[in-house]
């Protein structure tokens, strides 16, 4: 049955994906009196352990999608690589899905994404579509060196990427990304990396958190400092970009937009994530309404709520066995520990994060 919005407390949110983002969405939903049902292929996922029910099945399993559609008043996702056809199948079963399939389609393919962004007046690095090593060689004169080759699909945390430093490295780079359909990007000579976490409600109302400054190591987010020191012009430009992207997708929910700060007010969009984002975790301990609650409010048709920062926060990801320091971190003043309940601390795996209050 088609839901009417706003969904009252007692309603059920379906989430595709069972990772830490789903877990923190479920915790936020619980605070608002909403129940959560997770669909994930993994047993014992971080999100399922704090949710009312879990369907363990492939994302495109028709019976699982039918069960989810019956259980949920609205469905969202915490992972941008859920198949678009799963979202379309849910919609065909009459359940609302937010964000919609267009956002997913665009964010799943780096060529589509950059093409969309440029059409939305959101500038990116110069890029070329790559289907062969010859395509790389042909594009290098235009893009310059070094250039970064990335698979079009399925990359995350810097995986599926290879730098090309000189023309002799072309074949090796293409082999390094598995000769997959790719995008070649000009190097962004950025001063620093920023991001903006933005949201849009069912009525088109938009909300923005202040920008954060993000440090990556080996393609993985290390720390976020927010609110970042930015000029009013940079903030305005980031909000202009976010508004254009959200509006063009008729988006409902929270989106993370990764930015390169070129200095002198110039920003490029690196990528967009149609979901809550690691660089927005600081909001849990920095704002009245955090990004997880904001997303739940948006998809449930509630007022978006207050994104004003109360304090400056530094968020540090706990990767691999860094989470074994939990006892020390738990004793630290001005620090708040968030652990995801994952068993295996594989190297580089996101096990948790800590938000440290920097200034009030
Ligand atoms: N064109 C580029 N020029 C310079 N650095 C880049 C470029 N693209 C990505 N990077 C660096 O690599 C990191 C990961 O790349 P990104 O495209 O965000 O992939 P992922 O999907 O794995 O997060 C970025 O945060 C940035 O530090
Ligand atoms: Mg990224």
Ligand 1 centroid from CA 270, angstroms: 7
| Protein residue with least CA distance to atom 24, ligand 1 | 219
* Residue 314: its H or E element: strand 312-319
Please report whether residue 109 resides in a domain: no
Ligand 1 centroid from CA 156, angstroms: 9
Please report whether residue 174 resides in a domain: yes
Q: Where are the alpha helices (DSSP H) in 188-310?
A: 232-248, 283-286, 291-300
| Protein residue with least CA distance to atom 12, ligand 1 | 219
Give yes or no: residues 176 and 207 share one domain. no
Mean pLDDT for the stretch of residues 218-243: 96
Give yes or no: residues 170 and 294 share one domain. no
Give yes or no: residues 59 and 144 share one domain. no
Q: In a 10 Å sphere around its CB, with 0-12 CB exposed, 13-18 middle and 19+ buried, how is residue 277 labelled?
A: buried
Give yes or no: residues 131 and 178 share one domain. yes
Give yes or no: residues 233 and 267 share one domain. yes
Length of the chain: 360
Query: What pLDDT band is residue 1 in, cutting at 50, 70 and 90?
Result: low
Ligand 1 centroid from CA 21, angstroms: 21
Query: What pLDDT band is residue 101 in, cutting at 50, 70 and 90?
Result: very high
Mapped onto helix, strand or coil, the DSSP state of residue 348 is coil
pTM: 0.97
| Protein residue with least CA distance to atom 21, ligand 1 | 156
Of the residues 186, 206, 236, the one at which a domain ends: 186
Give yes or no: residues 56 and 161 share one domain. no
Ligand 1 centroid from CA 253, angstroms: 24
Strand partners of residue 184 = 128, 149
Mean pLDDT for the stretch of residues 41-69: 98
User: What's 37's domain CATH number?
Assistant: 3.40.50.20
pLDDT tens-digit map of 330-350: 999 999 999 999 988 999 999
Ligand 1 centroid from CA 216, angstroms: 9
How many domains are there within the chain? Answer: 3
Ligand 2 centroid from CA 35, angstroms: 30
Place of tokens 């007692």: 10
Ligand 2 centroid from CA 213, angstroms: 13
Quote the mean pLDDT of the chain: 97
Please tell me the distance from the alpha carbon of residue 263 to that of residue 101, in angstroms, as a whole number: 34
- Give the side-chain half-sphere CA count within 13 A for 112: 11
Token duo for residue 114:
């950059």
| Protein residue with least CA distance to atom 16, ligand 1 | 158
Range of the domain at 148: 126-186
- pLDDT score of 211 more than 90: yes
Give yes or no: residues 164 and 210 share one domain. no
Please state the separation of Cα 61 from the chain's center in Å.
24
pLDDT at 346: 93
Please tell me the distance from the alpha carbon of residue 262 to that of residue 347, in angstroms, as a whole number: 32
Atom of ligand 1 nearest to the CA of 190: 4
- Ligand 1 pocket test: pick from 153, 219, 222 the residue with the most ligand atoms within 8 Å of its Cβ: 219
Pocket residues: Cβ below 6 A from ligand 1: 125, 148, 155-158, 185, 187-188, 193, 216, 219, 258, 270-271
Give yes or no: residues 214 and 294 share one domain. yes
Mapped onto helix, strand or coil, the DSSP state of residue 288 is coil
């Amino acid at each position: 049955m088609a839901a009417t919005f706003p969904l009252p407390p007692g309603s059920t949110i379906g989430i595709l994906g069972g990772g830490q983002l789903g877990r923190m969405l479920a915790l936020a939903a619980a605070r608002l009196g909403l129940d959560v049902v997770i669909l994930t292929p993994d047993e014992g996922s971080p999100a399922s352990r704090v949710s009312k029910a879990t369907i363990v099945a492939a994302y495109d399993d028709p019976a699982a999608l039918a069960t989810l559609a019956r259980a949920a008043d609205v469905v969202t996702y915490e992972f941008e690589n859920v198949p678009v056809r799963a979202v379309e199948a849910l919609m065909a079963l009459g359940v609302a899905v937010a964000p919609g399939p267009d956002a997913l389609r665009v964010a799943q393919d780096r060529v589509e994404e950059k093409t969309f962004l440029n059409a939305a007046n959101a500038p990116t690095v110069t890029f070329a579509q790559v289907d062969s090593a010859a395509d790389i060689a042909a594009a290098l004169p235009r893009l310059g060196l070094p250039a970064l080759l990335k698979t079009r699909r399925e990359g995350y945390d810097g995986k599926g990427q290879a730098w090309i430093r000189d023309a002799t490295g072309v074949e090796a780079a293409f082999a390094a990304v598995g000769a997959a359909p790719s995008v070649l990007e000009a190097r962004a000579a950025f001063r620093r990396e920023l991001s903006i976490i933005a949201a849009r409600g069912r009525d088109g109302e938009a909300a923005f958190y202040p920008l954060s400054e993000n440090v990556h190591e080996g393609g993985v987010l290390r720390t976020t400092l927010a609110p970042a020191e930015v000029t009013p012009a940079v903030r305005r430009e980031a909000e202009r970009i976010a508004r254009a992207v959200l509006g063009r997708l008729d988006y409902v929910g929270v989106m993370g937009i990764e930015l390169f700060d070129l200095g002198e007010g110039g920003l490029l969009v690196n990528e967009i994530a149609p979901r809550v984002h690691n660089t927005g975790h600081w909001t849990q301990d920095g704002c009245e309404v955090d990004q997880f609650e904001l997303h739940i409010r948006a998809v449930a048709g509630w007022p978006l709520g207050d994104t004003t920062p109360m304090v400056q926060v530094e968020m540090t990801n706990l990767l691999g066995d860094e989470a074994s320091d939990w006892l020390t971190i738990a004793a630290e003043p001005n620090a708040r520990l968030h652990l995801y309940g994952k068993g295996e601390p594989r190297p580089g795996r996101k096990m948790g994060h800590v938000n440290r209050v920097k200034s009030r």
